[in-house]
Amino acid sequence: MLVRVPLATLWSDPDLNDTGHVDGDAVGRRRLSFPSDVVTQALLGDEAVVDEVRPDGWARVRLPDQGDYPGWLPIAQLADGSTVDGPVATVDALATDLRDEPNGTLAMPGVPLGTRLVAAGPGRDGWLPVRVPGAAEPRWVAAADVRSDPADPLATARRLLGVVYVWGGLSPGGIDCSGLVHLAWRRAGVRLPRDAHAQAAAAEPLAPGEERAGDLYFFAQPGARVHHVGIVVNPGSMLHACGDARIVVEEPLPPSRVATLTGAARPRPVS
């Protein structure tokens, strides 16, 4: 199935909602006592493999684009279908709106950066028709808000400076450290896993001093797996979603990061 909403949140436990049955596009009201209730997010058109559907409308899914990352979401946020071949127009604005026709009625607001849309035909008057899961007719996006070519990952990440840190976030509305890396490299046309430790396994280790802009720094406590990742700006400096600062920042490596730095690596596509 495919995600049919601009941004779908995956949760660790479907029983943490207060509404019981989930109807339509509702996601349920949440008791957000622990930030880890959110595990990740999926963008419009992303594939979701459904493993289980409960009578109350919650589905356990895996996200192939994120390395089969698992979580729970309302089944109403998915539509039947399969990925469609065609020219891809990736959202390059921080967010854009889809309309029912050029300059027409708003059909879907807030489609975030990195969303892959498939063109449904030639453009018209500065607008491009695109296929949207769950919609019988094409939607229209401003042609200026999408691009067909990949973007530099560091340049993409810099556009998110100051965005609030949100555990499990994967959009300009809120993002975490591995989400920032995943989104920046997704915009570059490279599919990376979702978590920092999985990203480390999918990257080519570099000797000290070999890192360059766009590579990754990984961090771990002694004897533990990688828990944090940042994008190299230059040797000794990185851009990252910082849990301490609660925003995306660009900074020299502070002593606490130097002490837990496990090394640098260069992303490579996963199979």
pLDDT of residue 86: 83
Task: Report whether pLDDT(135) > 80.
Answer: yes
CB-based contact 76:19 (threshold 8 Å): no
82-96, 110-124, 156-170, range with the lowest pLDDT = 82-96
3-state SS of the chain: helix, strand, coil percent to 5? 15, 40, 45
Name the average pLDDT for the chain.
91
Residue 45: left if φ>0, alpha if ψ -120 to 50, beta else—which one? Answer: left
pLDDT of residue 18: 46
Listed in sequence order, the residues at least 6 apart from 181 whose beta carbon sits closer than 8 Å to its beta carbon are 157, 192, 196, 199, 216, 229, 230, 231, 267
Listed in sequence order, the residues at least 6 apart from 118 whose beta carbon sits closer than 8 Å to its beta carbon are 45, 84, 85, 86, 87, 88, 89, 130, 131
**Integer Cα distance of 188 and 190 in angstroms:** 6
Q: Check residues 14 and 257 and name the one with the higher pLDDT.
A: 257
Task: Report whether pLDDT(26) > 70.
Answer: no
Closest of 222, 245, 235 to residue 176, by C-alpha: 245
How many Cα atoms sit within 13 Å of 111 on the Cβ side? 29
Set out the domains of the chain in order of their start, with CATH numbers. Answer: 2-79 (2.30.30.40), 89-112+123-147 (no CATH), 153-267 (3.90.1720.10)
pLDDT tens digits, 85-112: 789 999 999 999 999 999 999 999 999 9
The full length of the chain comes to 271
pLDDT tens digits, 180-236: 999 999 999 999 999 999 999 999 999 999 999 999 999 999 999 999 999 999 999
pTM above 0.85, yes or no: yes
pLDDT of residue 182: 97
Tokens linked to 177: 């450290």
Closest of 139, 149, 133, 175 to residue 40, by C-alpha: 175
